[in-house]
Amino acid sequence: MEQDKIFERLMQLVIHYYHDRDQGKFVDYLDLEPLRQRLGLEDERGRGDWDALFTWVERYLAHAVRTDHPAYLNRMWAGANLPSVIGEVIVAVTNTSACTFETAPVSTLMEKYLLQTMLDLVGFKGGCGQMTTGSSNANMLAMMAARNDLQPEAKQRGLFGSSHLVAMVNADAHYSMDRAANILGLGTDHLLKVPVDDHGRMRIPALEGLLAETVASGGKPFFVVATAGTTVRGSYDLVEPLLKLRERYGFWLHVDGAWGGSVIFSDRLRRRFLPALAQADSFTLDFHKMMGTALMCNVLLFNRQPVFLREVCSAGDESYIFHQGEGDEVRDLGTLSLQCGRRVDSLKWFLDWKFYGQAGLAERVERYLELCQYAEDQVDRLPELEMVAPRESFNVCFRFRSPEGIPAAPFNQALRERLHRSGRALVGTGYVNGQLALRLLITNINVGKPEIDHFFQSVIETGRELLAERSGRP
Ligand SMILES: *Cc1c(COP(=O)(O)O)cnc(C)c1O
């Protein structure tokens, strides 16, 4: 088959998928083993055969989870903005690595433009940053920067013989923090989890106590994280009191805004949720979550000059690849990164940014917050449902009220499974104060009030079904 025909055939499949993406069920669910059988992965056909190749593509699409579907309410991302999808296609076709100006000239300038735009928006004057593979990596890199800021010699000597370093995070912080503590040689025991208040925010007196105890026992508290939008509850740690403690203890203050950092696009929401952000030491935000850019798309910003980041990241002989030309301007973004090959993530962000603009993204977050308010109101109104904890921001943690004698957690877990397997809806779960909650997240521009109503109706119907089956039993 000639190339043009191949592309035409591909586009037909894409158009077909895209057309139906919000129709019918969000997934044609098969369990692991039946799906393995159905896919016929061992099938030998295919060598040099474009027809066979497209059969594989069709099989993939037949059981793909339609993340654009309004019943897909499970994760912090859903679907992807069309401008960014266009960016992804171009990136795939032009396959290159964004580590040097040589191989990725336009991407380098777009990424620099992105970084400057975001630094200006956040208010990190003279700062620097990079696009990373996501906030898990960004959190690790921020922790590493904090470690090397305090002990620059750690880069050569490691942590052997160093004072014992301690990091502190919200008890509900993302698990990537524990992984970072492992990777960086701190050990997860030295990642202290700060108990939370009724709003799911770190209790400042508790943090203060941990800081004092750590110092008294000869430890060094070097890294404190404010989570801007915790994973399950969506709580925002207060940044101002942490700034005061930073003056006293001299730690690095990182803000993990992977999820809730998107409020920075709206002046109103930023004043409400993240007023003191500009004074933090570093900040991470995932564009691929609330902002809808295609996965993965992240920015990590430092309130430090680029030379600092270069110091932190560089190691080994890079002379074969990086050729810093005349002048001070960083040309090769790979010099500020821990990766060698780097995916081009700048184009999809750039296209989204130009297409929607800050005003469009601000409207989007504001609308999501209104929809969350609407969803909470529905839970309060519908007798079958209840909130597990009051809503803090964008996360709606609720459950089906199970009757006396039926424990709520296994019942709601079973309800969730039934919703999923029947292809009716996919919603996440998480624990709030030890209680299992269904976690509704709205990050899909195709979701409005009618879709939310429909979702709650599905939950209620499914709950009733389960109850009817139970009472049918002897
Ligand atoms: C999603 C999330 C992360 C992890 O981000 P990835 O981009 O998925 O690696 C970290 N922290 C918080 C608060 C998150 O919501």
- Pull the structure tokens for residue 251: 């730690």
Pocket flag, ligand 1, residue 134 (CB < 6 Å)? yes
Pocket flag, ligand 1, residue 76 (CB < 6 Å)? yes
Q: Per-residue pLDDT for 371 more than 50?
A: yes
pLDDT digits (tens, 9 = 90+) for 336-353: 889 999 999 999 999 999
Percent of all residues in the chain with a pLDDT value above 90, rounded to a whole number: 81
pLDDT digits (tens, 9 = 90+) for 292-314: 999 999 999 999 998 888 888 88
Confirm whether pTM is higher than 0.75: yes
Residue 172's CB is within 10 A of a number of other CB atoms, namely 23
Pocket flag, ligand 1, residue 136 (CB < 6 Å)? yes
Of 292, 259, 167, which is closest to residue 221 (Cα–Cα)? 167
How wide is the angle at C-alpha 414 spanned by C-alphas 413 and 419, nearest 5°?
Answer: 100
**The tokens 């203050």 sit on which residue?**
253
* N-terminal to C-terminal alpha carbon distance within the chain: 63
Q: Per-residue pLDDT for 8 more than 50?
A: yes
Question: Among 74, 286, 287, which is best to mutate for testing ligand 1, by the most ligand atoms less than 8 A from CB?
Answer: 286
**What is the arithmetic mean of pLDDT over 227-234?**
97
Residue 251's CB is within 10 A of a number of other CB atoms, namely 23
Pocket flag, ligand 1, residue 392 (CB < 6 Å)? no
**What is the arithmetic mean of pLDDT over 131-155?**
95
Of 141, 470, 465, which is closest to residue 298 (Cα–Cα)? 141
- Kindly list the distances between the CA atom of residue 286 and the CA atoms of 76, 165, 259, 340, 355, in Å, as whole numbers in the listed order: 10, 28, 7, 21, 18
Task: Indicate the SS3 state at residue 425.
Answer: coil
- How large is the C-alpha radius of gyration of the chain? 24
Question: Average pLDDT over the chain, rounded to whole?
Answer: 94
- Pull the structure tokens for residue 303: 């309130």
For strand 395-400 and strand 435-441, is the pairing parallel, antiparallel, or unpaired?
A: antiparallel
pLDDT digits (tens, 9 = 90+) for 250-265: 999 999 999 999 999 9
pLDDT digits (tens, 9 = 90+) for 32-64: 999 999 999 988 877 889 999 999 999 999 999
8 A C-beta contact, residue 319 and residue 306: no
Helix and strand tally (H, E) in the chain? 15, 12
Q: Ligand 1 centre and the CA of 465: distance in Å?
A: 35
Query: For ligand 1, atom 1, which residue shows the shortest CA distance?
Result: 258
Pocket flag, ligand 1, residue 231 (CB < 6 Å)? yes
Q: How buried is residue 387: exposed, middle or buried, by Cβ count under 10 Å (0-12/13-18/19+)?
A: middle
Pocket flag, ligand 1, residue 259 (CB < 6 Å)? yes
**What is the arithmetic mean of pLDDT over 414-432?**
94
Pocket flag, ligand 1, residue 227 (CB < 6 Å)? yes
pLDDT of residue 474: 47
Q: Per-residue pLDDT for 90 more than 50?
A: yes
**The tokens 């509850």 sit on which residue?**
233
**Stretch (H or E) spanning 37:** helix 32-39
8 A C-beta contact, residue 126 and residue 305: yes
Question: Among 130, 135, 293, which is best to mutate for testing ligand 1, by the most ligand atoms less than 8 A from CB?
Answer: 135
Percent of all residues in the chain with a pLDDT value above 70, rounded to a whole number: 99
What is the C-alpha to C-alpha distance for residues 464 and 474, in angstroms, rounded to an integer? 18
8 A C-beta contact, residue 338 and residue 316: no
pLDDT of residue 318: 84
pLDDT digits (tens, 9 = 90+) for 159-187: 887 779 999 999 999 999 999 999 999 99
Q: Ligand 1 centre and the CA of 178: distance in Å?
A: 12
Q: Ligand 1 centre and the CA of 338: distance in Å?
A: 18
pLDDT of residue 326: 66
Pocket flag, ligand 1, residue 395 (CB < 6 Å)? no
Residue 353's CB is within 10 A of a number of other CB atoms, namely 22
Query: For ligand 1, atom 3, which residue shows the shortest CA distance?
Result: 135
- Pull the structure tokens for residue 236: 């925002």
pLDDT of residue 473: 60
Of 66, 45, 50, 34, which is closest to residue 2 (Cα–Cα)? 50
Q: Ligand 1 centre and the CA of 322: distance in Å?
A: 30
Q: Give the neighbor-by-neighbor strand order of the sheet with 72-73.
A: 72-73, 426-432, 435-441, 395-400, 385-387
